[in-house]
Structure 1
Amino acid sequence: MPIEMLYGKGHLRLELPQGAVPHLIEKPPFPATEPPAQQIGAAFAAPVAAAPLARLAQGRTSACILICDITRPVPNHLFLRPMIETMIAGGIPAGHITVLVATGLHRPNEGAELAALVGDPWVLETVTVANHFAMNDDDHVDLGTTTGRGVPVKIDRRFVEADLRIATGLVEPHFMAGYSGGRKVIAPGVAHHETIRTFHSARFMEDPNARECNLHANPLHEEQLEIVRMVGEVYALNTVIDDRRNLVFASFGEIVESHLAAVKFVRGFTEIPVGRTFSTVVTSSAGYPLDQTYYQTVKGMVTPLDILKPGGTLIIASHCGEGIGSAHFRAAQQRLVAMGPDAFRDSLLQKALADVDEWQTEMQLKPMRAGRIQLFTEGLSADDLAVTGVEPITDLAAAIAASIAAHGDPDVAVIPEGPYVVPLSAATAA
């Protein structure tokens, strides 16, 4: 029976070779939900550890709403207009409301892409919509350094100086910060490059607690929480979607508490106890928009490592329609290929500030240490494939058959939704 893997803007039909014993790893079904407008309205009216949005808007003179960039399928079209309308009704002039795209160190989203990201022409016509640029020094306010690990904290002044500050995002497993959304939309989302490059340096990335689904003693999470406290009063709208991009959960309120409420909800649907490991694991990079670059594909390689037997084969399908990623990332990948994994890692440990985007290459070291990594893609050129550091394949079924033969093990774990599902080798989730 064929399996539909998330791939690009559609699905990739996976036909397993004869003799393979598939073990499909998917989320359990989400419970039935109210229509999206009702979910959003209820979240605004009954927030977590905060007053309702309508009351928060009263007496404010300006507002800044953070939204994730194009790499995250956040349902902005569902909540931006009702959020902004509530602000305007509360007395905030439309001209004093900014929707700020939290790009981190990613490229800006402009033109038709920005319109698709926002998803509502009314928003673009009514308020200011702009991109964050981490490299622009003058765009940031220096808030000092964190007490825990000395991270310099510089945040986009449009957010810091707004009277009402709201972060919005998608809560899903994140391969280094535990879970996305909430505090992460601020840092790295609208942080200065020095802030981002500090807590993406090797002393953070090599910490064993900097991993998916873990918030306990996670150095990135702890620094992000302190950064939120340094910014001051911040609220958040947190969303969860299913594999068809339908809204299944929304929480609004104080940024830390409302984010934890969303994490509590989503854990039961993303952390999947499997009870064993596999010699062959087949996964995806979660489809569009996450699988549009090889840079983002690394997340799909890291997430299933808990169920990969030492020396096993991890096969990932990722469209990579936009190519390898940034020039910075390409340079890091070239250094990895030229130096080898061990020397590359040693070079990172000497730096206080990571080079832009090289932390993704550093995260790729984890699957490379664990086993054999194979990539199926239709979007990378030969030059791109040469700097991935992994083995390209053109036939999924043949690669799976070869892995089964090499390991003498017919069992194959298949994860159609990629990094949105975190399989655990233990019989029960922690």
Structure 2
Amino acid sequence: MTSGDIAVSYGRGHLDVRLPASAEATVIRKQPLPKIADPHAALMQALDQPIDAPSLAELSRGRTSACILICDITRPVPNRLFLRPMIETMVAAGIALDRIRILVATGLHRPNLGEELAELVGDPWVLANVRIDNHDARNDDDHVDFGRTSTRGTPVKIDRRFVEADLRIATGLVEPHFMAGWSGGRKVVAPGVAHHETIRTFHSARFMEDPLAVQCNLVGNPLHEEQLQIVGMVGEIYGLNTVLDEERDLVCITFGEIIASHAAAVDFVSNVTRVPVPRKFSTVVTSSAGYPLDKTYYQTIKGMVTPLDILEPGGTLIMVSECSEGFGSPEFRDAQTRLVELGPERFLATLTAKTLAEIDEWQTEMQLKSLRIGRVELYSSGLDAHDKAITGVETISDLDAAIAASIERSNDGAVAVIPEGPYVIPYHAP
């Protein structure tokens, strides 16, 4: 328990949350994990001693080409740590440098270009020497059609540049994901480099409204099960997964067969990421985990969903997110406009009959989960008046006053504060 000022992640820094003197704050963080003292040595050990696979050097021998998937700018993956060593290992084993490609797994997000791409890759040598492309989910010709999954009939179309590579590696960050359970591993393949029809099927209401499609859950999660089937249809894929602490320092790195290496990283982080909380709160203050996740309102919605298990029904969830790039895609803006015009119930009714979700409307659908529980308020310095009008939530200009008002409404001075937002998953454990 604590009181006074609490720093929460906001943009590239922090925002001080000042609580009333009478408030009793519970600050919810991940359990601390030991930082890896020598990340490069840990990387090389992971590449030399993979999980359920030969070493990267052995995997590379006799191959004629390679494709490495990296997450887009919305994930703070330490690409600068591992890309060059992986590529140099491949070249030393006989793969020509000009036959190695990096593919940014954008899903349906915009491409990462220019200075943003340089920041994403983090290594000038890689930028200068390796071909780097962005996945384009809307380009039909870029994809190989594998048919449909046998369980739920999801159309499976994957970027041809990845499929046709002789050695395929997906890299990423393992963190809670509010629909797929955990990010990283198989998720970097689908939806990362999947066709828009595959992605829009994943995000249809029959998946989104499934009670098992939630953060930190893989058992019976329909998205996870489809992703496992999809990587099996593609064939031999390897995965490199990283886990970071609150300071964005490396605490775990795994490499190996894509499913096994991802499972090992999930096992490592799951017990420290899920935090038991003995009560529910009428006032919850959380963030969008700061940069880069809080660049847009689209990504901000993730932080509105992950703490719902500890929000008292009818309580107030106060979200802080810089939204330095503004709102999000035009499609997301259209979905939010429809939400405001129709209201939550009528908006949801328009989704349930669709086999393919409209692009980016799934994030609006996820926001409905928060609105069903209680009141949502947003503090953001990056949205203009028009953007704020279509958030579908109440926007606030004085964070401290909003907290005090919530305490007064509920007549309960207990406040939960989650500085790292959706990277921490609190759950009610009385």
Tell me which interval the TM-score lies in, with the shorter structure as reference length. Answer: over 0.9
User: Relative to structure 2, which stretch is displaced further, 12-21 or 105-114?
Assistant: 12-21
Tell me whether 1:42 sits opposite 2:45 in the alignment: yes
Tell me whether 1:196 sits opposite 2:205 in the alignment: no
Residue 286 of structure 1 contacts residue 417 of structure 1 at CA under 8 Å; is this kept in 2? yes
Q: Which amino acid aligns with 1:81?
A: R
Tell me whether 1:79 sits opposite 2:82 in the alignment: yes
Partner-residue secondary structure (3-state), 1:375:
strand
Deviation per CA, 1:145-202: give whole Å up to 9, x if none.
0001000000000000000000000000000000000000000000000000011100
Alignment root-mean-square deviation, CA: 0.7
Paired residues for 1:17-416 under 5 Å: 17-416=20-419
Q: Which amino acid aligns with 1:152?
A: P
Partner-residue secondary structure (3-state), 1:412:
strand
Q: Which amino acid aligns with 1:114?
A: L
Q: Tell me the distance in 2 between the aligned counterparts of 1:13 and 1:39.
A: 35
Unpaired runs of 5+ residues, structure 1, are none
TM-score by length of 1: 0.99
Partner-residue secondary structure (3-state), 1:365:
helix
Q: Tell me the distance in 2 between the aligned counterparts of 1:42 and 1:27.
A: 26
Residue 103 of structure 1 contacts residue 132 of structure 1 at CA under 8 Å; is this kept in 2? yes
Residue 17 of structure 1 contacts residue 398 of structure 1 at CA under 8 Å; is this kept in 2? no
Partner-residue secondary structure (3-state), 1:316:
strand
Residue 313 of structure 2 contacts residue 374 of structure 2 at CA under 8 Å; is this kept in 1? yes
1:39 offset after TM fit, Å?
A: 1.3
Q: Which amino acid aligns with 1:158?
A: R
Q: Tell me the distance in 2 between the aligned counterparts of 1:230 and 1:314.
A: 41
Q: Tell me the distance in 1 between the aligned counterparts of 2:275 and 2:45.
A: 29
1:267 offset after TM fit, Å?
A: 0.7
Residue 211 of structure 1 contacts residue 218 of structure 1 at CA under 8 Å; is this kept in 2? yes
Partner-residue secondary structure (3-state), 2:313:
strand
Q: Tell me the distance in 1 between the aligned counterparts of 2:200 and 2:76.
A: 25
1:32 offset after TM fit, Å?
A: 4.1
Paired residues for 1:412-423 under 5 Å: 412-423=415-426
Partner-residue secondary structure (3-state), 2:359:
coil
1:2 offset after TM fit, Å?
A: 1.2
Q: Which amino acid aligns with 2:405?
A: A
Partner-residue secondary structure (3-state), 1:155:
strand
TM-score by length of 2: 0.99
Residue 281 of structure 1 contacts residue 308 of structure 1 at CA under 8 Å; is this kept in 2? yes
How many residues were matched structurally? 427
Give the ranges of 4+ consecutive aligned residues of structure 1 lying more than 3 Å apart after TM superposition: none
Unpaired runs of 5+ residues, structure 2, are none
Q: Which amino acid aligns with 2:78?
A: P
Deviation per CA, 1:214-246: give whole Å up to 9, x if none.
001000000000000000000000000111111
1:392 offset after TM fit, Å?
A: 0.3
Q: Tell me the distance in 2 between the aligned counterparts of 1:256 and 1:125.
A: 32
Percent identity over paired residues: 67
Q: Tell me the distance in 2 between the aligned counterparts of 1:100 and 1:90.
A: 21
Residue 35 of structure 2 contacts residue 249 of structure 2 at CA under 8 Å; is this kept in 1? no
